[in-house]
């Protein structure tokens, strides 16, 4: 049983977020926070973590580590998962290949051929088929099991995914197949990964779990071996954590591990400042993640990663390839483009002086003066402005612009990409951005927050303290959690509340056993019950909280009206029951701001700003201090550019609260 800790004086909480460019650390001990960054090591992510812990001089045996990992995500994006066999019923071997027959480019008459998730030779068929009512149509006999065993031994895959039709009604056949799989092979059952209807989405989730599961297990094992005695948990895509020893078996739940940490922290900071409705953007070195928070994290079961549907619950966000490392280039038509390609961590932007040959958003911010060459990472990393100028110069020459004009163009295009993503998560969902607070975090976010707020006419913004490593903070304030679901299809008019609650009771027992394995006490568990509903005849559904049958009907109609602009007089159909279970999070109290002595602030010149600009070290700002833009506010892990026409104050937790003047 995994031991669970609270933030006592003898335990050190360590949040770790592995990003594409940097690996971020936040240490919480005896009410104090310490931040740290090291360059990521994508080939072996644990090396950067071990390096950071060594530099922080932490004893692994005192550590409770909560980790956001990109191992599963990168393996999927790069197509470098393990060889996986797919077992299904007779006649269904090509379901994953046929998919939904959706076209990524609607008007492309000659689309490129996409490789199937599983090669035909590794798609195996067998019996054990059920009807939609759970009745046996084709039995699974011992001869078929032995044949499967022989096929697996001959193919020798690293992992196996089992997805039988309607297995969420009766998982007995899947369990029998799993029992004959050779021990050295990783196994996933659809009835355990995603007990819901739609065999394609369920099959993809099961395949993904097996495709990346062994890599996640191997990685976490190396990390645990490198940190003997440490207690390690991993962030999952829905914003809750799971013990590292159990995470590999649920690897598909880690595909948005890092971004979920950022949203958990943004929600926490919103609570600290009394703001519940937030529009967040997390701008790192490689990408920008945009999401909405309305008191709680918003989840979706309709996410996509690398072109595949991921039907397991995950934070609802929109991700684009726009980050500090996004590469600027001139396209065939002579137009300036930014992203989605990134310079990554090695060699990184040219200004890192590690051999980068391409102009990036970070280089542009440095040339414009918004990044200070001597203040990056608290002065721990000197930026090379000459190298940044040298890589932007060829672009400027092609465009017939000065270097500064070209740099401003790079920033403007990156801002427009991010503004579009913010509109997707707000305007396109019928929500007025002006009613929200824009929350910026990530290492590069503070440099762009005012421009994005202006683009969406948002009058308020917030840059949390330690915004450059906020995802790492989110790891510390996230609860141990499980997301459970089961398909139960029926008309609301023809089902009793007691029948629905029986399904909830069964899910509760399943989640309780899982959380108790991690040392969570039943009395500390909070449950959120919800149901997926649709009008009879619809294909898609909306999720509403479960209270009573009558309340579900009212809430579904209201949500349908808000989302689609109308509601119908049709019967309402229940599709899935869902249960979110979570424990109390670690008790983390942000220390109040204690301003350091204030020397005379530095005055600098910025391109495009007529007046001189004051540079404020953030640790020298006091509570309620008011700053008028233009100004630069520097800290160890990020820089905030307060544009002309904006002002900000500092609250007791150290957040910068920005307002349009």
pLDDT number for residue 588: 84
* 566 lies in the same domain as 619: no
* 553 lies in the same domain as 606: no
What's the structural domain count of the chain?
A: 3
Mean pLDDT of 561-578: 92
What SS3 state is found at 645?
coil
Compute the mean pLDDT over every residue in the chain, rounded to the nearest whole number: 91
pLDDT in tens, 501-516: 999 999 999 999 999 9
- In 3D, which of 263, 377, 378 has the Cα closest to residue 319? 263
On the question of a cis peptide bond just before residue 115, with omega within 30 degrees of 0, the verdict is: no
* 571 lies in the same domain as 645: no
pLDDT number for residue 5: 41
* 536 lies in the same domain as 607: no
* 533 lies in the same domain as 620: no
* 565 lies in the same domain as 621: no
Is residue 510 a part of any domain in this protein? Answer: yes
Is residue 18 a part of any domain in this protein? Answer: no
Is residue 87 a part of any domain in this protein? Answer: yes
Is residue 563 a part of any domain in this protein? Answer: yes
What is the residue range of 117's domain?
81-207
> Is the pLDDT reported for residue 582 higher than 80?
yes
pLDDT in tens, 606-641: 988 888 899 998 888 888 889 998 999 998 878 999
Q: Which helix (H) or strand (E) holds 129?
A: strand 129-130
Is residue 263 a part of any domain in this protein? Answer: no
Provide the CATH number for the domain around residue 512.
3.30.1490
Percentage above 70 pLDDT, the chain: 97
Tell me if 233 sits within 8 A of 64, measured CB to CB: yes
Tell me if 293 sits within 8 A of 462, measured CB to CB: no
> Is the pLDDT reported for residue 2 higher than 70?
no
Is residue 91 a part of any domain in this protein? Answer: yes
> Is the pLDDT reported for residue 8 higher than 50?
no
Residue 201's pLDDT band (cuts 50, 70, 90): very high
Tell me if 613 sits within 8 A of 543, measured CB to CB: no
pLDDT number for residue 492: 94
* DSSP string across 566-635: ---SSPEEEEEEEEEEE-PPP---PPPP-PPP-PPPEEE--TT-SS-EEEEEGGGPPTT-EEESSEEEE-
- φ, ψ of residue 488 to 5 degrees: the values are -145, 95
Question: How far is the C-alpha of 214 from the C-alpha of 218, rounded, in Å?
Answer: 6
* 156 lies in the same domain as 198: yes
* 527 lies in the same domain as 622: no
Tell me if 515 sits within 8 A of 482, measured CB to CB: yes
Question: How far is the C-alpha of 407 from the C-alpha of 338, rounded, in Å?
Answer: 11
Residue 91's pLDDT band (cuts 50, 70, 90): very high
Please report which residue ranges of 117-171 form alpha helices under DSSP H.
142-155
Between 55 and 602, where is the model more confident?
55
What does the buried/exposed string (b/e) look like for 497-512 if buried means 16 or more CB atoms within 10 Å of the residue's CB? eeebeebbeebbebbb
Question: How far is the C-alpha of 43 from the C-alpha of 55, rounded, in Å?
Answer: 20
pLDDT number for residue 411: 96
pLDDT number for residue 367: 95
On the question of a cis peptide bond just before residue 176, with omega within 30 degrees of 0, the verdict is: no
pLDDT in tens, 432-454: 999 999 999 888 899 999 999 99
Residue 1's pLDDT band (cuts 50, 70, 90): very low
Between 207 and 72, where is the model more confident?
207
24 contacts: CB under 8 Å, gap ≥ 6:
15, 16, 17, 35, 36, 37, 468, 469, 471, 472, 637
In Å, the largest CA–CA distance within the chain is: 83
* 530 lies in the same domain as 571: yes
Residue where the block lists tokens 């109609």: 557
* 569 lies in the same domain as 626: no
pLDDT in tens, 311-352: 999 999 988 888 888 999 999 899 999 988 888 767 889 999
> Is the pLDDT reported for residue 159 higher than 90?
yes
What SS3 state is found at 514?
helix
Q: Which of 187, 207, 227 is the last residue of a domain?
A: 207
Mean pLDDT of 270-298: 88
pLDDT number for residue 348: 86
* 201 lies in the same domain as 90: yes
Q: Which of 207, 237, 252 is the last residue of a domain?
A: 207
Mean pLDDT of 61-77: 89
Tell me if 344 sits within 8 A of 20, measured CB to CB: yes
Mean pLDDT of 201-223: 96
Question: How far is the C-alpha of 329 from the C-alpha of 530, rounded, in Å?
Answer: 47
Tell me if 518 sits within 8 A of 246, measured CB to CB: yes
pLDDT number for residue 378: 65
pLDDT number for residue 102: 80
Provide the CATH number for the domain around residue 94.
3.40.50
Tell me if 211 sits within 8 A of 76, measured CB to CB: yes
pLDDT in tens, 401-438: 999 999 999 999 999 999 999 999 999 888 899 999 99
Is residue 232 a part of any domain in this protein? Answer: no
- Pairing mode of beta strands 326-330, 308-310: unpaired
- In 3D, which of 151, 194, 153, 198 has the Cα closest to residue 174? 194
* 500 lies in the same domain as 617: no
The length of the chain in residues reads: 661
- Pairing mode of beta strands 572-582, 602-604: unpaired
Residue 56's pLDDT band (cuts 50, 70, 90): very high
Question: How far is the C-alpha of 493 from the C-alpha of 201, rounded, in Å?
Answer: 28
Question: How far is the C-alpha of 582 from the C-alpha of 587, rounded, in Å?
Answer: 14
Is residue 26 a part of any domain in this protein? Answer: no
pLDDT number for residue 580: 95
Question: How far is the C-alpha of 114 from the C-alpha of 238, rounded, in Å?
Answer: 29
> Is the pLDDT reported for residue 212 higher than 90?
yes
Q: Which of 529, 547, 582 is the last residue of a domain?
A: 582
pLDDT in tens, 9-38: 468 999 999 977 789 999 998 888 888 989
pLDDT number for residue 444: 87
- In 3D, which of 285, 280, 279, 209 has the Cα closest to residue 248? 209
Question: How far is the C-alpha of 162 from the C-alpha of 125, rounded, in Å?
Answer: 10
pLDDT number for residue 52: 95
């Amino acid at each position: 049983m995994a031991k669970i800790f609270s933030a006592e004086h003898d335990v050190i909480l360590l949040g770790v977020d592995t990003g594409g460019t940097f690996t971020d650390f936040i240490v919480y001990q005896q009410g104090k926070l310490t931040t740290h960054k090291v360059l990521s090591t994508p080939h072996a992510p644990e090396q950067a973590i071990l390096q950071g812990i060594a530099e922080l001089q932490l004893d692994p045996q005192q550590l409770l580590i909560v980790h956001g990992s990109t191992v599963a995500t990168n393996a999927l994006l790069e197509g470098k998962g393990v060889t996986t066999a797919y077992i299904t019923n007779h006649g269904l071997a090509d379901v994953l290949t046929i998919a939904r027959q959706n076209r990524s480019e609607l008007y492309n008459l000659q689309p490129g051929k996409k490789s199937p998730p599983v090669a035909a030779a590794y798609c195996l068929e067998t019996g054990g088929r059920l009807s939609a009512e759970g009745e046996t149509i084709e039995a699974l006999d011992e001869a078929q099991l032995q044949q499967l065993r022989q096929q697996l031994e001959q193919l020798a895959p690293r992992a196996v995914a089992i997805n039988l039709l309607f297995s969420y009604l009766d998982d007995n056949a899947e369990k029998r197949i799993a029992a004959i799989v050779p021990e050295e092979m990783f196994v996933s059952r659809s009835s355990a990964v995603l007990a819901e209807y739609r065999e394609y989405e369920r099959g993809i989730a099961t395949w993904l779990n097996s495709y990346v599961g062994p890599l996640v297990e191997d990685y976490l094992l190396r990390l645990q071996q490198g940190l003997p005695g440490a207690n390690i948990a991993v962030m999952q895509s829905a914003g809750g954590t799971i013990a590292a020893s159990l995470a590999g078996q649920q690897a598909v739940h880690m595909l948005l591990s890092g971004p979920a940490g950022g949203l958990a922290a943004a929600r926490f900071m919103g609570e600290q400042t009394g703001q519940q409705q937030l529009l967040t953007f997390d701008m790192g070195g490689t990408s920008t993640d945009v999401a909405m928070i309305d008191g709680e994290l918003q989840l979706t079961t309709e996410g996509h990663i690398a072109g595949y549907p991921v039907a397991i619950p995950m934070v609802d966000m929109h991700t684009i390839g726009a980050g500090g490392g996004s590469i600027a280039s001139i396209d065939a038509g002579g137009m300036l483009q930014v992203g989605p390609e990134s310079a990554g961590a090695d060699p990184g932007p040219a200004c890192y002086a590690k051999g980068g040959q391409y102009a990036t958003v970070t280089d542009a911010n440095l040339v414009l003066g918004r990044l200070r060459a001597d203040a990056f990472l608290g002065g721990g990393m000197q930026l090379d402005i000459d190298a940044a100028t040298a890589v932007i110069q060829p672009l400027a020459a092609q465009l017939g612009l000065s270097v500064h004009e070209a740099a401003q163009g790079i920033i403007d295009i990156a801002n427009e990409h991010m503004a579009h993503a913010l509109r997707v998560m707000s305007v396109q969902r019928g929500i007025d951005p002006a009613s929200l607070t824009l929350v910026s975090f990530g290492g590069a976010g503070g440099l762009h927050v005012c421009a994005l707020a202006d683009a969406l006419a948002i009058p308020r913004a917030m840059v949390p303290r330690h915004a450059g490593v906020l995802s790492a903070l989110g790891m510390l304030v996230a609860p141990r959690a499980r997301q459970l679901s089961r398909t139960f299809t029926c008309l609301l008019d023809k089902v009793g509340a007691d029948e629905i609650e029986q399904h909830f009771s069964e899910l509760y027992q399943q989640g309780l056993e899982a959380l108790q394995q991690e040392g969570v006490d039943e009395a500390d568990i909070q449950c959120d019950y919800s149901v997926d509903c649709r009008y009879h005849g619809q294909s898609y559904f909306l999720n509403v909280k479960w209270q009573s049958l009558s309340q579900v009907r009212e809430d579904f109609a209201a949500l349908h009206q808000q989302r689609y602009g109308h509601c119908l007089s049709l019967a309402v159909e229940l599709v899935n029951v869902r249960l979110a279970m979570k424990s109390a999070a670690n008790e983390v109290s942000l220390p109040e701001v204690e301003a350091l002595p204030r020397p005379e602030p530095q005055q600098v010149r910025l391109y495009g700003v007529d007046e001189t600009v004051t540079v404020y070290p953030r640790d020298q700002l006091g509570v309620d201090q008011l700053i008028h833009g233009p100004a630069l506010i520097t800290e160890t892990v990020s820089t905030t550019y307060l544009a002309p026409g904006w002002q900000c104050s500092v609250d007791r937790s150290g957040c910068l609260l920005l307002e349009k003047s």
